[in-house]
Amino acid sequence: MMRAERTPRLPRDNARVLGGIVRGKRTTLRVPTEADLTGFARWAADLRVRGALTRAYWDEPAMLATWKERLAKQSEDKSSTLWAIDGEGALAGSCRVEYAIEPGHFGNDGIGITHFTIEPDRWGQGLGSDAALALHRWIFDIVHARFAHTALAAHNAGALRVAERLGYETYARGTAVHYGDGRYVDGLQLRMDLTTWDERWGATEREYPVPLGEELEA
């Protein structure tokens, strides 16, 4: 079957600066607006979200005016990108990544996922898996990062299932490093490489069908 014609790939730096819209099958990653801040503030104060402990929410609970200041500051940060996640017509979550911006380092030094949140009332609907896949298409296909990394609390079973399905592997474990839900839990460091993305998702999710060898030489 012939592929539809694609828009030419963005240069790495443009991909970083724009962030832009990334579409999944059921979710869309887009630039956040002030209208999203009520949701962001609600999730930061939700004990179900905070119970995930690591990489779950953007910042600490605060008044809406403070969230407006945070969004303005985030918009000026050249070393990170924040998205709101829309799911089937409504705000469903948010995610944020960080990266090195020095010439020759963007993408080569990897992309760090600093938080990924889905509205707790919509857990179990598959929106997190869909949005995570779209995010990693941006990381590996649009940015062409060599690897992605994140940290999760060991008891965050839902996030670990999504990470394992994507292709993440745990490379470090800290014992009883986080306290939450009335107990100490282990912390995990996870990493996924471009080669894993290509092997696991290249046939179905690659936006731009460029041979992997050419990407590694870019």
pLDDT of residue 179: 75
Compute CA distances 120 → 32, 63, 67, 126, whole Å. Answer: 19, 20, 20, 12
What's the rounded Cα separation, in Å, for the pair 32 and 80? 13
183 DSSP β-pair partners: 180
Find the range with the poorest average confidence among 56-60, 72-76, 117-121, 138-142.
56-60
DSSP 166-180: HT-EEEEEEEEEEEE
**Across 83-110, average pLDDT:** 84
In order of 75, 95, 117, 121, 125, the CA distances from 68 in angstroms are: 11, 17, 18, 24, 29
Backbone phi and psi for residue 111, each to the nearest 5 degrees, phi listed first: -120, 130
**pLDDT band (50, 70, 90) for residue 103:** low
Secondary structure element (H or E) that encloses residue 201, with its range = helix 194-205
What residue spans define the domains of the chain?
14-217
Q: Summarize pLDDT for 49-58 with one digit per residue, the tens.
A: 887 755 555 6
Q: Which of 4-13, 51-60, 201-210 is the most confident on average?
A: 201-210
CATH topology of domain 14-217: Aminopeptidase (3.40.630)
Q: Which whole number is the average pLDDT over 171-197? A: 89
Lowest-pLDDT choice from 3-17, 23-37, 79-93, 152-166: 3-17
Distance CA 186, CA 111 (A): 23
Q: What is the mean pLDDT of the chain?
A: 82
Q: Do residues 40 and 58 make contact, with C-beta atoms less than 8 angstroms apart? A: yes
Q: Give CA–CA dist 35/56, Å, rounded.
A: 20
Query: What's the pTM value of the predicted model, to 2 decimals?
Result: 0.84
Which residue did the predictor score with more confidence, 156 or 108? 156
pLDDT (0 to 100) of residue 51: 75
